[in-house]
Structure 1
Amino acid sequence: MPGIDAFLQRLFGSANERKIKRFWTTVKEINELEPRFKPMTDEELQAMTPAFKERLANGETLEDILPEAFAVVREAAQRTLGQRHFDVQLVGGMVLHYGNIAEMKTGEGKTLVATLAVYLNALAGEGVHVVTVNDYLAKRDSDWMGQIYRFLGLTVGVIVHGLSDEERRANYAADITYGTNNEFGFDYLRDNMKYSIDTMVQRGHSYVIVDEVDSILIDEARTPLIISGPTEDLTEQYRKVDALIPSLIPPKRQGKDVPPEEKGDYELDEKQRQVTLTDQGNEHMVQLLREAGLLSHGDLYDIDNISLVHFVNQSLKAHKLFQKDKDYIVKNNEVIIIDEFTGRMMQGRRFSEGLHQALEAKEGVTVQPENVTLASITFQNYFRLYDKLAGMTGTAMTEAGEFMDIYNLEVMEIPTNLPVKREDFDDEVYRTFDEKNEAVIKLIEEAQKRGQPVLVGTTSIEKSEHLSDLLKKRKIVHAVLNARYHEQEAQIVAQAGRPGQVTIATNMAGRGTDIQLGGNADMRIKQELGGIVDQDELARRAAEIRAEVAAHKERVIAAGGLYIIGTERHESRRIDNQLRGRSGRQGDPGASKFFLSLQDDLMRIFGSERMDAVLTRLGLQEGEAITHPWVNKALEKAQQKVEARNFEIRKQILKYDNVLNDQRKVIFEQRKVIMQSDDVSDEIKEYRATVVEELVERHIPPKAYAEQWDAAGLHQEIIDIFGLDLPIVEWTKEEGIADEEVRERVLKEVETRAAERTANFTVELMRYVEKAILLQTLDHLWREHIINLEHLRQYVGLRGYGQRDPLNEYKGEAFELFESLLSRLRIDVIRQLMHVVINTEQPPPEMPHDEPRQMIATKPEFGGAEAGQGGEPDPYRGQRTIVNRERDVAVDPNDPSTWGKVQRNAPCPCGSGRKFKHCHGALV
């Protein structure tokens, strides 16, 4: 295409040009196909889909049919949506198809770009997933872009919170499935907690496109997805400890050389997001706990009081690190998390490790019980399950290194359809908040007078509402967009480009709605003319609105386009760029400027003292600002430091999770093999042989003297595990007997007993029971293993003080724990199979579960706090009892049906001496 290469060279430089240049030949080929498809009837165009599938079945590749498939999608989009893909959008589609990240500016039509790669890859028949940041966008895009796919004969599904198992399975079976990252991740975890292949909802991980890929794979990847279940109720403890925190003495000064009397009871490190008790604070807290009757003996850090340390630490964090209306809001007697990157309410998500309970106690709302981890995975390891991963966003170049390092994804910057005309002014830095706010309001007033729309970006709800109050005092009409007004979000954003409109927004990532100069005509027609039935009247009024919007657009363009005002710099440059990118879409004019003060969090935490001293020496007067490109550079370096620190945190999390991930793959793969098999008797037979071998080897070691043998111990363990009273002691007294002979005799008796039990219960029933117990015991031990690894990771960090690498220590001990899990699995499964009492009057239940278990799907927050999707009773999990229990019957140790309800931590009624949850309770 003439002049395009020179344009790219001039705008982006040779590096990006070399990446993009190879796609323009294909763009030309697609354009040349347009005359072929344009005259086709709808039926002829729709017939291309089965034709493509047939060609793929005959050996052609997706790359072979790419130009024709893209040309078909372009024509279908024009017929269904009235939108024709720009040439640069075709380039974006190819970047996505080849498994890369397409960075496209706001307003360049990323949603439409995805349809090209989605359609092409859906032809393979393995399912394509499109990931969005929230349910609203998942539903909107599946309906909106779904018109293209359905027109071309493909099926479309959408996964949102609240769907049943059957609905999820049907939506995943579609050719194309839209949904959120959390829902996809949680469904994967739930699937690997199922008891039958038929009840799993996902059908594989072939190809995925992640929208707002930087937000999902970078920002949200710091913490894993967690599915948890209930534990004992400790809500009253949180309330009691919370009441003590306000009595702690705050520090007068912070720093290393501050004398003890000025340090107060706790040290606060906002940079690292940590708060810890000082020595003085420990003594004071012990005194407070004793007075409250919570500490009866010993010190706070005695082993018996370790749970109190947990309550104190979480309550301290809740009070000193987390701010209402910034990190969370209180609504309808609930503490609701606010996403720091999007400013949205994270409905149903909860911080973990007791932090959410501590916040609930702090705010005086109902304290919900804590939960224990049942399954977890990081976004890094979930999205690396896909055979091909691609993404799109407006801001990814700043994190290109991380995308390549972690995901092997290359970032390619797609040229804009029209040149960007937005003017980005240097930042203005003021001494105080008040001076900065005054300057912001002055600029808003100037813009409003000339009819220029203004979008003001803030970093928290509190700051947006404070600015709103100041504007009200000046009688400046405006709209506020933050978590409190989530419902009106689309309408507020859509009309933010009207002449003189002032909109205050808390973060602008992933809003999914373009700000159109003059306003959004389609949205206005939908809102204002929804009740009109008469078609002529409707058409007339719609034409009036479109003419009015067009006139408004001309007026706004004359005034300079949308003006972006940032009231603070965010820790991440990408968030600032996302805000800026709202202006100057599709060649529109625009402007942007950031206002800062030395009291801003970023400036205050990252070295404002030195800058304050410099500004004082320069004689900066009140109300004056410093504006210089050097200031922008200094701020950019501060942001880069924060981003580098966060990258290290994510890398460290991934290194530890990779250890768990290797084990997770083994367990999940094993579960799938078990679920697919109708007969696991060979595995059970192997378990019996291995358990016997390990028992004999432990009590009668090879090459040990006879007096070193522990025949009595072996005798007792065989009774405990197999229910067999064998004359082991007498056998070992026989002259010339060796450990091999003992092992063979024991194994022969064990196999005889196993055969007798199978004969008594019928082969069909025994096969079912073997499979059920194997799956349930594997799940039970895996959950315990996850908790053990969590605890291991918490204290393995202390090994660093002994000059040992914590990660290597973690790997070594995690492997030992995994070996122990496999050994316990064999023993526990065989013990239960040899002792279980089955009611043969009842037919064996079907493997799919029917007793819902209360579960919460959670996503942790950075720094040990957790947040997650869910919070309602979960229909996806439950374990069926395989024995028939009845109440009001005399307890018979050999008949579990007489036991009634047994507490999980109580001794098992069978008399084994083990806790119920580790014995017959593992069946529940």
Structure 2
Amino acid sequence: MVGLGGLARKIFGSANDRRIRSYRPAVQAIGALEKEMEALSDEALAGKTVEFREKLAAGADLDTLLVPAFAVVREAAKRALGQRHFDVQLIGGMVLNDGDIAEMKTGEGKTLVATLAVYLNALPAKGVHVVTVNDYLARRDAEWMGRVYRFLGLSVGVIVHGLSDDERREAYACDITYGTNNELGFDYLRDNMKYEKAQMVQRGHHYAIVDEVDSILIDEARTPLIISGPLEDRSDFYNTIDTFIPGIAADDFEVDEKQRTAIFSEIGTERMEERLRAAGLLKGGSLYDVENVSVVHHLNQALRAHKLFQRDRDYIVKDNEVVIIDEFTGRMMPGRRYSDGLHQALEAKEHVRIQPENQTLASITFQNYFRMYDKLAGMTGTASTEADEFADIYDLEVVEVPTHRPISRIDDHDEVYRTVEEKYAAIIETIRACKEKGQPILVGTTSIEKSEQLAELLQKRGFQQSDPDVLMDGDKPVFQVLNARYHEQEAYIISQAGLPGAVTIATNMAGRGTDIQLGGNADMLIARRLADVPPGPERDAREAKIREDVARLKEKALAAGGLFVLGTERHESRRIDNQLRGRSGRQGDPGQSRFYLSLQDDLMRIFGSDRMDGMLQKLGLKDGEAIIHPWINKALEKAQQKVEARNFDIRKNLLKFDNVMNDQRKVIFEQRIELMTEESVADTVADMRHEVISALVARHIPENAYAEQWDVKGLHDAVIETLNIELPIADWAKEEGIADQEIEERVVAAAEADFAAREERVGPELMRRVEKAILLQTLDNLWREHLAHLDHLRSVVGFRGYAQRDPLNEYKTEAFSLFETLLNDLRRQVTANLSRVEVRQAPPETPAFDERALSAHHADPMTGLDEEPAAPPPAFAAAPVARNPEDPSTWGHVGRNEPCPCGSGKKFKHCHGQFA
């Protein structure tokens, strides 16, 4: 029975169908211009860019140029790349231009689709950013698609790790800039730490297309981008805090080892308040007042260090350092440190040298970075399962673009086995069967460790891991493993995974940027094998031979059934499974996909595997047999939907907290840019000075108070401390009929006179520079302290829930209070600093922005490990010291997957680094 919704869709089509139909007239109009564009010379076609820009300057709307602009790009791509946009690709380009997500299946040419919307939105010359998942794809796409843009007279830049500021500024100044999500976000943060507008590298956020949008805006967005720098030495503070913990009683705290938490009990909090008050470390009346948020945070970390972490189990002390022990492998992890002051708390506990804590200098989430763009679009093969999140967080609609040819892939029902061993036995038999009949097979795993486990099992069964070129003969029992370390090599392996009989094991197929072509990718083979062959008859002949071989191998792969995709287990997200499945059936090719599960898989345990195991045994399921039923597929899909919904709620909740900081971040960053842009900040500084004086007088001479209630001495001392001037305030207070307003006016007049005299000594021009430098530096220092306070507040505000108070509302209220404190401190510190400034030598230069002391961090959401290189950018790094294979002291830091410097040919982790 068809429901009302299904009946309506049959008659009217779905919302997606109607959206696609709305683009058809524009597609026909573009097609009608094709002959006209073909008749143009190269110069005339390139001249269209100038013509379009003139129309925009005359007031034309950008969307009115869509049809002719798309027609121009289609013709330019034919001439520059030898590729013509399909009609469905034109539709994809229109979706991107509308600021939505184009969901296009693997192999449908998303990279080419982007050129349409990129070109059109680059015409206003405000800059278009194309965001990729790694440096390799940024370079590749900028060079590959750059041929089209340069043909049409547009400039193309690329942002990758290791560029200098001048190189970055030049790349961002281009019409079109390719870059990774991390690099773009870090550049934004670094720009807002500069001291002059001219030092900034980005020029705005006009339009961005995010490739693999689900990977970047959902998976990567679980963790923020952070730029940090070393704090000043606070070892005394950590040691002082540590002294409070050993003497606490058993009822002072509660420990939950399962959740790895340790908190003070109510009675413990009261006792701790008394001890802190006696030590002079408590501000205000309560430990949980907003002024004490940093003390509370470090007190909680000290409690965790003493009550949760055990020496020689969680860490060891070696060479006067606390070294973390990996809980899974039992190995030491030198160089790794706990964050948020926990490592310093352990160092204080063990009485070893306390190393400086890194302080967050700037931070932003991908959600809040990408929402800054005036227009944002994305493309991927799998976004519809996360459509609600895209709509809710980014206001992006997912539009499914039809395929150029109908999909003929067969998606089999899952096979469920009782044990992991039975499942892997079935997987290996399937791999062997595909190999024997010459069918290429792609095996997807959920982790690198499971890829290595499967590789070991295959090797025990006679398979060998080899170079992808060996697969050309298709007979040897060999396989390839993608390790996600070297993106160029990875792209080549994927490009040849469609060879007959090829066996490729991969973890998480998103963001590879290369599709699997049956028979192999002729262009990549030619680039690899003929790299050193100069143009000429010999190269042409060898190139023709390679293309002939690929065509023959494609026919063989097609005859064997196309690419077989084998999933070794279900991922917690349907989207990841769909990414893997979507690798087969490219552009109408035949293919097949199947997932192999066991009751011991992580996701299957959600259903209660004990009951299911018993039920299957009663049904007579024997060892090695599988159960196959569509009901299991539906049950799994529902479980995945629950996990997806939970993860969405977690990300949404985190974003609610980050939005509080983001509102404050925008205010501070906008103010910084305004201050840097202004020639003079003298009026701003004068307003600050007047507000500080007004606050000083109001605090010591309350409104409507009698003269004998005035704190005259307090005001006198505060004026000396803040304004650096001695005033006869006690004598003024004795005058008959004097009021607070008149005293304030006299203090203002004295301060202005003192400031005018100081300016006369220094000189007006130099004073303007000093004012700006002090204002910016003070703002930066206070903002960094504010970020630390917000981090600490966020870590403790969750406990308010026990008191039936909403942690988010508590966080908003106290974060606003802290922000007000920041602004008050800014006014006071700037006024105090300028009241003492004396310039006796050459005028100070505006501080140069030094990146050497900074480090950028973005944690991989899957592993928690930092994705960013530990070393400073190459532009600032010292020249490398030559490594002597026989002298380990010259090796410096060696990456665990680098070749061992001793020359053994093994990876470092399997050679000299195996005990590290």
TM-score tier after normalising by the smaller chain length: 0.7 to 0.9
CA contact (8 A) 1:157 1:172 kept: yes
Structure-2 change in CA distance of 1:370 and 1:827 (3 Å):
closer
| Displacement after TM superposition at 1:33 (Å) | 0.1
CA 266–828 in structure 1, closer or farther in 2 if over 3 Å, else same = closer
Equivalent residue number for residue 488 of structure 1: 489
Match of 1:896 in 2: none
Cα displacement string for residues 359-397 of structure 1 (whole angstroms, at most 9, x for unaligned residues): 99xxxxxx9965211111111111111111111000000
Distance 1:860 1:12 in 2: 46
Partner of 2:462: 475
Name the residue aligned to 2:632.
631
Counterpart for residue 80 of structure 1 = 80
SS at match of 1:415: coil
Q: Secondary structure at the match of 1:563?
A: strand
- Of residues 355, 365, 370, the one that matches 1:378 is 365
Deviations 1:501-551 (A, max 9, x none): 100001111001111101111111122222223621111111111111111
Mapped partners of 2:436, 2:346: distance in 1: 44
Partner of 1:889: none
The answer to which of 381-390 and 474-483 deviates more is: 474-483
Equivalent residue, structure 1, for 2:386: 399
Q: Deviations over 1:240-259 (max 9, x none)?
A: xxxxxxxxxxxxxxxxxxxx
Question: Are 1:528 and 2:529 counterparts?
Answer: yes
SS at match of 1:456: strand
Label 1:502 to 1:63 Cα distance change in 2 as closer, same or farther (>3 A): same
For 2:868, the aligned partner's letter is: Q
Total equivalences in the alignment:
796
1:15 is matched with which residue? 15
Cα distance in 2 for residues equivalent to 1:400 and 1:159: 29
Deviation of 1:817 (Å): 0.8
Greater alpha carbon shift after TM alignment, 175-184 vs 608-617: 608-617
TM-superposition CA deviations, 1:890-912 (whole Å, max 9, x none): xxxxxxxxxxxxxxxxxxxxxxx
User: Compared with structure 1, are the counterparts of its residues 151 and 675 closer, same or farther at alpha carbon in structure 2 (3 Å cutoff)?
Assistant: same
| 1:547-626 aligned within 5 A | 547-604=548-605, 607-626=608-627
**One-letter identity of the residue aligned with 2:761:** N
The answer to whether the aligner puts 1:774 opposite 2:775 as a matched pair is: yes
Cα distance, 1:147 vs structure 2: 0.3
**One-letter amino acid of the structure 2 residue matched with residue 131 of structure 1:** V
Q: Map 1:193-212 to 2 at 5 A.
A: 193-212=193-212
Asked if the contact 1:481/1:489 (under 8 Å) is kept, the reply is yes
Q: Give the TM-score normalised by structure 1.
A: 0.81
Q: How does 1:294-693 map to 2 (within 5 A)?
A: 306-309=300-303, 311=305, 352-353=339-340, 370-476=357-463, 477-483=478-484, 488-533=489-534, 535-604=536-605, 607-693=608-694
User: Could you tell me how far 1:852 is from its partner in structure 2?
Assistant: 4.3
Alignment correspondent of 2:319: none
1:269-308 to 2 correspondences below 5 Å: 274-276=259-261, 306-308=300-302
Q: CA deviation at 1:853?
A: 4.5
Instruction: For 1:424, give the aligned amino acid.
Output: D
Determine if the alignment matches structure 1 residue 794 to structure 2 residue 795: yes
Q: For the Cα contact (< 8 Å) 1:433–1:599, is it kept in 2?
A: yes
Following superposition, the deviation at residue 616 of structure 1 comes to 3.5
1:713-751: CA deviations, max 9, x gaps? 111111111111112222222222211111111111111
- Aligned equivalents of 1:508, 1:324: Cα separation in 2: 31
Structure 1 residues 319, 581: closer, same or farther in 2, change over 3 A?
A: farther
Closer, same or farther: CA 324–395 of 1 in aligned 2, 3 Å: farther
Task: Tell me if 1:747 matches 2:754.
Answer: no
Give the 3 Å change call, closer, same or farther, for CA 827–369 of structure 1 in structure 2: closer
Amino acid at match of 1:127: G
Shift of 1:304: 8.1
Alpha carbons of structure 1 residues 103 and 501: separation in structure 2 relative to 1, 3 Å: same
1:27 aligns with 2:27: yes
Amino acid at match of 1:132: T
CA distance in 2, matches of 1:159, 1:41: 33
1:857 equivalent in structure 2: 856
C-alpha distance in 2, partners of 1:355/1:500? 52
Q: Which amino acid aligns with 1:452?
A: Q
1:284 corresponds in structure 2 to none
Higher mean alpha-carbon deviation, 669-678 vs 219-228, is at 219-228
Whole-angstrom CA distance in 2 between matches of 1:329 and 1:210: 40
User: Any residues of structure 2 matched to 1:102-251 within 5 Å, and which?
Assistant: 102-231=102-231
Provide structure 1 residue ranges, at least 5 long, that are not aligned to the other structure.
Answer: 1-8, 239-264, 269-273, 280-300, 336-349, 361-366, 878-924
Contact 2:305 2:346 in 1 (8 A): no
CA contact (8 A) 1:420 1:587 kept: yes
Aligned to 1:907: none
Aligned-pair CA distance for 1:832:
0.5
Q: Distance in 2 between matches of 1:314 and 1:425?
A: 48
Q: Which residue of 2 aligns with 1:728?
A: 729
One-letter amino acid of the structure 1 residue matched with residue 821 of structure 2: S
For residue 871 of structure 2, what is the aligned residue in structure 1?
A: 872
Deviation per CA, 1:464-514, whole angstroms, max 9, x where unpaired? 111111111211311111235655211211111000010000111100111
User: What is the TM-score normalised by the length of structure 2?
Assistant: 0.82
Displacement of 1:438 in angstroms is 0.3
Helix, strand or coil at the partner of 2:520 = coil
Q: Note the residue ranges of structure 2 that are not aligned, 5 or more in a row.
A: 1-8, 239-254, 265-294, 316-323, 348-353, 464-477, 877-916
Letter in 1 for 2:853: Q
Output the CA distance in 1 between the equivalents of 2:793 and 2:112: 47
Mean Cα deviation higher: 106-115 or 621-630 = 621-630
Q: CA RMSD in A?
A: 3.4
Q: Is the contact between residue 301 and residue 342 of structure 2 (CA under 8 Å) also seen in structure 1?
A: no
TM-superposed deviation, 1:10: 8.5
Change (3 A) 1:164 1:326: farther
Give distance in 2, aligned partners of 1:82 and 1:579: 29
Residues in 2 aligned to 1:31 and 1:351: alpha-carbon distance in whole angstroms: 60
Matches within 5 A, 1:700-739: 700-739=701-740
Cα pair 1:326 1:461 within 8 Å, conserved = no
Instruction: Write the letter of the residue equivalent to 1:399.
Output: E
1:655-697: CA deviation from partner (whole Å, max 9, x where unpaired): 1111111111111111111000121111111111100000000
* Secondary structure of 2:835 counterpart: helix
**Structure-2 residue corresponding to 1:699:** 700
8 A Cα contact 2:26 2:67, kept in partner: yes
Letter in 2 for 1:472: Q
**d(CA) in 2 for partners of 1:154 and 1:752?**
57
How many angstroms apart in 1 are the aligned matches of 2:407 and 2:496?
22
Q: Is the 8 A contact 2:262 2:303 kept in 1?
A: no
Q: Secondary structure at the match of 2:454?
A: helix
Counterpart of 1:261 in structure 2 is none
- 1:456/1:502 contact within 8 Å kept: yes
Q: Distance in 1 between matches of 2:311 and 2:173?
A: 44
Aligned twin of 2:286: none
CA distance in 1, matches of 2:861, 2:176: 32
2: CA distance between counterparts of 1:870 and 1:632?
Answer: 41
1:186-218 per-residue CA deviation (whole Å, 9 max, x = no partner) reads 111111111111111111111111111111111
TM-aligned CA deviation for residue 612 of structure 1:
2.8
Deviations 1:33-62 (A, max 9, x none): 000010211111111110110111112111
Pick closer, same or farther for the CA change 1:808–1:310 going to 2, 3 Å: same
Residue 249 of structure 2 aligns with which residue?
Answer: none
AA aligned to 2:647 is N
- The alpha-carbon deviation at position 355 of structure 1 amounts to 8.6
Residue identity matched to 2:40 = M
Partner-residue secondary structure (3-state), 1:121 = helix
**Aligned equivalents of 2:307 and 2:448: distance in 1?**
26
In 2: Cα distance, 1:326 partner to 1:493 partner? 34
Distance 2:89 2:639 in 1: 35
Partners of 1:625 and 1:744 lie apart in 2 by 89
Distance 1:574 1:16, change over 3 A: same
